[in-house]
């Protein structure tokens, strides 16, 4: 089937669906030759926005538009073209006949579970959520704020077949208290939206959840048979038939949840929708549903074992709950009883109980040995932790005579003991913020001079860029440490020649790296990597290596009581085994 989509004046884009491949061809109503890439560009922009959720700013750079407004106009043209030409062929009751639904898009399992007439259409309906940006319009904000989700949203309603094919997408509706699932269903049926009443026949079946309960009367009055899970109505549990019927509905109804999930694969619909695009939500929702119908296989495409499953489920439909029957018939209750009054209740001596539960009381030699081992282990652990804590506190008081830049400004370190890289931006900061223009620091020429001077004790502190400082202290000079927080923000840039040929490519590549998370991965790889051990952890933790010998000794002590117990009880063990 060829679907014609108008994308520009006099130019048409044909999307061909052969159920295996997606091919595109372009034709024009004029005899003049056209550039295929130019015609396909608007559709590529729309797909990138709708499916990947890219913003107009990103699309401007990716497709080399002059400004975001040009992207917005292109998206508007494609949206209107798809809505008027493409969507009506793949979405809506006018796009498909009842017989095609019965023959192609209905699950035989669902039809046989709910009806004896295989020409009955079974529909599944449910609502979903699309999240919105909070609006400054107070009235609109009140109508879109959902007390259940605690955020602003609108609610579309999908009606699907039992294989997940989307017949129609209604709404989106506001999410205040007057627009629950039942109210939306009433609005659809009373107003005969999309000609639904002209399409359905008497005794067609609609499967819904309990949220549609207030619309059941209307649906039945219009000739529909409604399948909805039962209500407890004050009872503690369902009877067996009600529970089994609910399982039938769950077996069928999941396809509409799958359809809701499929349209959320379009990231534009799955993210928070901006206020400026709220008027286009309905169009984008219907476009997504049409694309799912046109180019994705149904949620259920194989009916191989349906006959076996249906037969088994129908056989068990009226099967009672045997445990419940016994409880009802025999009147079983929990009661307090006396073991001496119970018939055939086993009488055990203390020795037998001790044997069953493993004889490890303190009166035995094995128990004494194990208790001594536990006592020694606990004592050594407490003593080791106390000594480690005392040493850590003592060392912590002697370390880090400064805590940040404020201590340097207050003179806790002689200014001639501070190393500064000569001719750098760091020197400008020092002169402007620390020494008031006085060159009283220790000048150094290279970064290596800074590291060696710190390690040799020539200087006490120096200033470095935080990224470089983290890498050096984590991976190269493990005896150096960073004190305090960053204190001077600055910007960096990549210097390129004017009118450089590859400037646009560089911009796009950087944007792609940022959107794809590659820049963040590089930062983790090079700046979060740490080959030096963390000095703070060394000071405050007792490593497993230091206590491995202790646990080994405890393991030996624990094994000896087990062996001693097994030797003493060898006769009882032999009698039990043989």
| The pLDDT of residue 8 | 38
Q: Are residues 214 and 72 in the same domain?
A: no
Q: pTM of the entire structure?
A: 0.53
Strands annotated E in 223-319: 225-227
Which of the residue ranges 152-166, 206-220, 261-275, 372-386 would you say has the lowest mean pLDDT?
A: 372-386
Q: Are residues 54 and 108 in the same domain?
A: no
Q: Are residues 189 and 272 in the same domain?
A: yes
What is the Cα–Cα distance from 157 to 260, expressed in whole angstroms?
Answer: 9
Q: Are residues 61 and 99 in the same domain?
A: no
Most confidently modeled of 15-19, 185-189, 356-360, 390-394? 185-189
Q: How confident is the model at residue 541 (pLDDT cuts 50, 70, 90)?
A: low
| The pLDDT of residue 204 | 94
| The pLDDT of residue 170 | 95
Calculate the alpha carbon distances from 572 to 20, 428, 575 in Å.
72, 87, 5
Domain presence at residue 371: no
What is the Cα–Cα distance from 22 to 262, expressed in whole angstroms?
Answer: 19
| Residues above pLDDT 90, as percent of the chain | 24
- Average pLDDT of every residue of the chain: 80
211: tokens are 């949220």
Q: Are residues 138 and 279 in the same domain?
A: yes
Number of domains present in the structure of the chain = 3
Q: Are 362 and 368 in contact (CB under 8 A)?
A: yes
Taking only the tens place, the pLDDT of each residue in 471-511 is: 888 888 888 888 877 777 776 677 888 888 888 888 888 88
What is the Cα–Cα distance from 3 to 23, expressed in whole angstroms?
Answer: 11
DSSP string, 428-442: HHHHHHTSTT---SE
Pairing between β-strand 418-421 and β-strand 442-444 as defined by DSSP bridges: parallel
Spell out a b/e string for 248-264, using b for 16 or more CB atoms within 10 Å of the CB, else e. bbebbbebbbebbebbe
Burial of 80 (0-12, 13-18, 19+ CB in 10 A): middle
DSSP string, 159-185: EE-TT--EEEEEEEEE-STT-SHHHHH
Domain presence at residue 101: yes
What is the Cα–Cα distance from 156 to 173, expressed in whole angstroms?
Answer: 6
| The pLDDT of residue 200 | 93
Domain presence at residue 65: yes
Domain presence at residue 332: no
Q: Around Cβ 36, how many Cβ atoms within 10 Å?
A: 12
- Among 425, 454, 482, identify where a domain stops: 482
Residue 259, pLDDT above cutoff 80: yes
Domain presence at residue 149: yes
Q: Are residues 223 and 116 in the same domain?
A: yes
Stretch 160-171: mean pLDDT: 94
Q: Are 189 and 196 in contact (CB under 8 A)?
A: yes
Residue 209, pLDDT above cutoff 90: yes
Stretch 525-530: mean pLDDT: 70
Residues 6 or more apart whose CB falls under 8 angstroms from that of 479 comprise 455
Q: Are residues 117 and 189 in the same domain?
A: yes
Stretch 57-77: mean pLDDT: 87
Domain presence at residue 206: yes
Residue 185, pLDDT above cutoff 90: yes
Q: Are residues 121 and 176 in the same domain?
A: yes
Q: Are residues 84 and 194 in the same domain?
A: no
What is the Cα–Cα distance from 91 to 83, expressed in whole angstroms?
Answer: 10
- Among 36, 57, 88, identify where a domain stops: 88
Q: How confident is the model at residue 388 (pLDDT cuts 50, 70, 90)?
A: confident
Q: Are residues 185 and 147 in the same domain?
A: yes
Stretch 286-294: mean pLDDT: 92
Residue 360, pLDDT above cutoff 60: no
Domain presence at residue 349: no
Residue 238, pLDDT above cutoff 80: yes
Structural domain of 44 = 2-88
What is the Cα–Cα distance from 78 to 50, expressed in whole angstroms?
Answer: 11
- Among 63, 88, 113, identify where a domain stops: 88
CATH number where 476 lies:
3.40.190.10
């Amino acid at each position: 089937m060829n679907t014609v989509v108008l994308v520009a004046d006099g130019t048409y884009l044909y999307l061909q669906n052969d159920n295996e491949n997606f091919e595109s061809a372009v034709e024009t109503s004029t005899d003049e030759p056209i550039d295929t890439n130019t015609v396909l560009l608007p559709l590529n922009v729309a797909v990138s926005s709708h499916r990947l959720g890219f913003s107009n700013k990103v699309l401007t750079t990716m497709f080399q538009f002059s400004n975001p407004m040009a992207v917005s106009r292109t998206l508007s043209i494609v949206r209107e073209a798809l809505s008027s030409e493409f969507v009506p062929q793949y979405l809506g009751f006018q796009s498909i006949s009842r017989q095609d639904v019965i023959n192609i898009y209905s699950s035989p399992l669902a039809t046989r579970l709910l009806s004896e007439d295989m020409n009955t259409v079974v529909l599944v309906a449910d609502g979903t959520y699309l999240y919105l940006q909070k609006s400054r319009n107070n009235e609109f904000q009140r109508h879109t704020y959902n007390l259940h989700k605690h955020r602003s949203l609108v609610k579309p309603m999908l009606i699907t077949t039992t294989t997940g094919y989307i017949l129609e997408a209604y709404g989106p509706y506001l999410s205040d208290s007057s627009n629950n699932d039942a109210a939306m269903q009433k609005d659809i049926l009373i107003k005969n939206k999309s000609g639904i009443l002209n399409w359905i026949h008497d005794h067609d079946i609609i499967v819904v959840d309990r949220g549609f309960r207030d619309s059941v009367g209307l649906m039945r009055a219009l000739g529909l048979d409604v399948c909805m899970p039962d209500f407890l109505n004050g009872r503690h549990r369902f009877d067996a038939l009600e529970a089994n019927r609910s399982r039938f509905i769950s077996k069928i109804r999941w396809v509409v949840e799958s359809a809701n999930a499929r349209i959320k694969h379009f990231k534009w619909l799955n993210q928070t929708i901006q206020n400026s695009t709220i008027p286009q939500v309905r169009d984008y929702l219907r476009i997504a549903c049409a694309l799912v119908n046109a180019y994705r296989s149904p949620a259920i495409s194989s009916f191989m074992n349906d006959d076996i499953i249906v037969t088994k489920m129908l056989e068990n439909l009226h099967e009672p709950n045997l445990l419940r029957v016994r409880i009802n018939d025999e009147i079983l209750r929990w009661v307090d009883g006396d073991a001496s009054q119970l018939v055939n209740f086993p009488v055990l001596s203390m020795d037998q109980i001790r044997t069953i539960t493993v004889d490890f009381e303190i009166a035995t030699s094995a128990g004494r040995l194990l208790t001594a081992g536990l006592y020694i282990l606990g004592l050594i652990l407490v003593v080791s932790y106390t000594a480690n804590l005392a040493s850590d506190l003592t060392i912590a008081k002697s370390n880090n005579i400064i805590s940040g830049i404020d201590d340097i400004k207050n003179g806790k370190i002689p200014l001639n003991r501070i190393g500064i890289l000569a001719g750098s931006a760091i020197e400008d900061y020092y002169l402007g913020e620390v020494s008031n223009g006085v060159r009283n620091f220790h000048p150094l020429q290279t970064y290596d001079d800074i590291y060696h001077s710190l390690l040799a004790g020539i200087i006490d502190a120096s200033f470095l860029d935080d990224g470089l400082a983290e890498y050096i202290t984590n991976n190269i000079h493990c005896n150096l440490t960073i004190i305090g927080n960053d204190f001077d923000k600055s910007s960096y840039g990549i210097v390129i020649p004017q009118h450089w040929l590859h400037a646009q490519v560089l911009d796009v590549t950087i944007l792609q790296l940022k959107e794809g998370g590659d820049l963040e991965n590089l930062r983790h790889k090079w700046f979060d990597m740490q080959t030096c051990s963390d000095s703070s952890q060394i000071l405050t933790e007792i490593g497993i290596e230091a206590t491995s010998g202790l646990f080994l000794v405890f393991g030996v002590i624990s094994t000896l009581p087990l062996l001693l117990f097994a030797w003493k009880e060898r006769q009882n063990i032999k009698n039990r085994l043989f």
